[in-house]
Structure 1
């Protein structure tokens, strides 16, 4: 990866990704704690997670349908303004329904990955940074930065506890963390100002889906199954599971998610090396299945040490498909279709993922502690097997073009 040159625009996008991942990292851990501190319940945590993902998916739909009519710079700056407003809204509001509105229209991310409207816009620009394996390396670097910064952000989830030792109330400290989220959005807005201006031509003018519509539709349908499964155990719900099942402290949960983030980052760093040897599709599938098995096993772990060990194994494998999946999608469509393809494959993922957190929260609230983990793992294994069978031929064709 070190041999891949990094253009200035790519550096700005990587820095913006890192800043978003940092604040997303602690928000995913703090969100259930904050909502419970406001007097809301377990089911409401899942409901708010659903609202955030559903709103993000609808915005991504808009980008897929109309995004080619606007310059990426304008859209990214508008999204960063929305991020500022989201942080301020969560810091100021306390009641469920206003928070649901902010969650729906905002950019809050309750999961360990990036499911926001930023994703397809940044992916489309990154796709022009290289071809073939170089493109995979760029996406791996993008995912690596996100994973590392999210891991560090998870450690920041302990800040409210540290402030409490200094006499700051828990609720004001939690609200302050959302103000920091808003400030990060402002900094990201300033970074996007440095992207090419509208009067500077894009490398390839974007266009709606055309010749690649069929393969994109099939990929989108399968990705939605994977996303629905993942939504059952978004990071906020996994943190809630650890709090309820093992009475884990906020500081311990933050440290645990820091290490899972580091393992995820290491796996994404290794993804291009693995993909060069066994292919993008095989990398996606043959690392994903063992991680799902580890998740199912964690559901029945008798002690917290065993559960955390299995979840660490999962973290070391489960995200290796992220850069390879992005590179695979970009490799099977024409350059002009990349914005639309990134959006159309992200939309079903976001929609599907938005439906399942409320289900996962309801299962936890009902006392079925193992159910969300088992269902998540089983659905992901089924997705991997179908993906391998359906796209093995497409994988061969795309590798020949790399």
Structure 2
């Protein structure tokens, strides 16, 4: 094979062509998350050390992280509830604005409760993980912009580039702390250095807002095709506009009313003035949301998955990267610059490994890829507190982080493959909410253990929980059929095209399932 042929093969094998084919909107989504994860990586290195420099106890630090995640739960629920209705781009823009707000709070304030309020409302990552409300919106957007044949590759690169962002963020943070210590000298304290670091968070929030503004309307959700009472097809946007305009008229001259109301008996017409109004705006928001439309076919699968992910998230919350940094600093007395180097290499290994996730998924299947890559990472967490040398601890950390994220792209693709397209935002939103909720308890448990000099037990418990999650995934989902809904939609669309006399067959969803 020539060098050109090798490059082309690698280009296709590692899914770069899939990312290119999906167009600029996908690129902007990926870049926005990369900026966010750069900020999260930078803060994960210093957040616990910053709180410690303010002389808050380990118990208070753990409580701080827990309450931050509780705020993420509420925001995740709200974002998933309104994202498709309000607009995905607006939600992502709001995420960047909240990052700016949170960063400014941490630049200027030191009061525990003000910092906590800023972290809760401003979606600061107190753990280094992306447990906020905006990842589910991004994953739903990417699933909307891709096909079954390209989805896993694109989602894998979505994880890969964001992991690289974390790697660069944590490395920059370590170096910047060291640099700021030198230039501030005796004029500033270590707390002043940490304050200055949060300007990075502000800058990344601004970048996220810019990328959200660059996204096009293709990112927005579209309601599934419905039939009006006269048998005509209509496509309605989530904001209430039809695919051909805001209003339509019927033979009786009804004008200025949404097309789906025309010809509908007043008794059952939701747009009729005589129809009962919801009791309040929250009730209306819930009834109009996607949460109420998750089908009975999807529900058994996603409920099992949610239970497993809650268990895994509890484990991740107990031994988050921020707490792992804090553990290493306490156990071995490592400097911030050294910790930054270690975590940067860890994230780099993570990014390299996720490049192979799409290729593995095509050969092993989504579930096998998720389990067989995540299980060694879980074992490394279980064994992490055993070594008494820095070298062995770092090796186990590299194993943990190097394999930890290979399941993320396949997991998002798995969710997209087993639920209907119109359910994805809701299901991914609930998934993100439950994962965040599972993570909320972890930091407080670890803070309690650290306060009683039993920090190491957190890693034992977390490793065992993660192994249980891996085994549960394998035994519950390994034989599950993928893409059933997309195949049915594709067959229906092809049949309608053929009956209409079209010269070309439509094939939206009947691509060979290479992932199952």
Shift of 1:182: 1.3
Count of aligned positions: 402
**Paired residue for 1:183, among 192, 195, 203?**
203
Deviations 1:298-345 (A, max 9, x none): 210121111111111111212111111111111111111111111011
Give the conservation status (yes or no) of the 8 Å contact 1:129–1:138.
Answer: no
Secondary structure at the residue paired with 1:355?
helix
Give the conservation status (yes or no) of the 8 Å contact 2:374–2:470.
Answer: yes
Q: Which residue of 2 aligns with 1:210?
A: 294
Q: Distance in 2 between matches of 1:355 and 1:285?
A: 24
**Paired residue for 1:193, among 213, 219, 222?**
213
Work out whether 1:163 is the aligned partner of 2:180.
yes
Give the conservation status (yes or no) of the 8 Å contact 1:60–1:347.
Answer: yes
**Paired residue for 1:173, among 177, 193, 197?**
193
Q: Which residue of 1 aligns with 2:460?
A: 374
Where do 5+ consecutive residues of structure 1 fail to align? none
Q: Distance in 2 between matches of 1:78 and 1:15?
A: 16
Q: Distance in 1 between matches of 2:171 and 2:62?
A: 23
Greater share of residues in helix: 1
Give the conservation status (yes or no) of the 8 Å contact 2:96–2:208.
Answer: yes
Where do 5+ consecutive residues of structure 2 fail to align? 1-14, 225-236, 239-289, 485-511
Q: Distance in 1 between matches of 2:79 and 2:164?
A: 27
Q: Distance in 2 between matches of 1:268 and 1:144?
A: 5
Q: Distance in 1 between matches of 2:220 and 2:139?
A: 19
Secondary structure at the residue paired with 1:3?
helix
Q: Distance in 1 between matches of 2:67 and 2:309?
A: 20
Deviations 1:176-214 (A, max 9, x none): 111221122122112211222599874965644422233
Give the conservation status (yes or no) of the 8 Å contact 1:292–1:381.
Answer: yes
Give the conservation status (yes or no) of the 8 Å contact 1:232–1:356.
Answer: yes
Give the conservation status (yes or no) of the 8 Å contact 1:90–1:178.
Answer: yes
**Paired residue for 1:74, among 68, 78, 90?**
90
> CA 1:397 to 1:22, structure 2 compared with 1: closer, same or farther past 3 Å?
closer
Work out whether 1:283 is the aligned partner of 2:299.
no
Work out whether 1:54 is the aligned partner of 2:70.
yes
Shift of 1:216: 1.9
**Paired residue for 2:170, among 147, 151, 154?**
154
Q: Distance in 1 between matches of 2:135 and 2:68?
A: 15
Give the conservation status (yes or no) of the 8 Å contact 1:151–1:261.
Answer: yes
Shift of 1:376: 0.6
> CA 1:383 to 1:366, structure 2 compared with 1: closer, same or farther past 3 Å?
same
Give the conservation status (yes or no) of the 8 Å contact 1:52–1:106.
Answer: no
Q: Which has the higher contact order (CA 8 A, sep 6+)?
A: 1
Per the normalisation by structure 1, the TM-score is 0.95
Q: Distance in 2 between matches of 1:336 and 1:60?
A: 18
> CA 1:197 to 1:392, structure 2 compared with 1: closer, same or farther past 3 Å?
closer
Structure with greater Cα Rg: 2
Deviations 1:27-66 (A, max 9, x none): 0011011111122122222111112211111111112333
Q: Which residue of 2 aligns with 1:2?
A: 16
Secondary structure at the residue paired with 1:336?
helix
Written as runs of structure 1 = structure 2, the 5 A alignment for 1:2-401 is 2-4=16-18, 5-158=21-174, 159-167=176-184, 169=188, 170-197=190-217, 202=222, 207-208=290-291, 209-211=293-295, 212-395=298-481, 400=513
What RMSD, in angstroms, separates the aligned Cα atoms of the two structures? 2.0
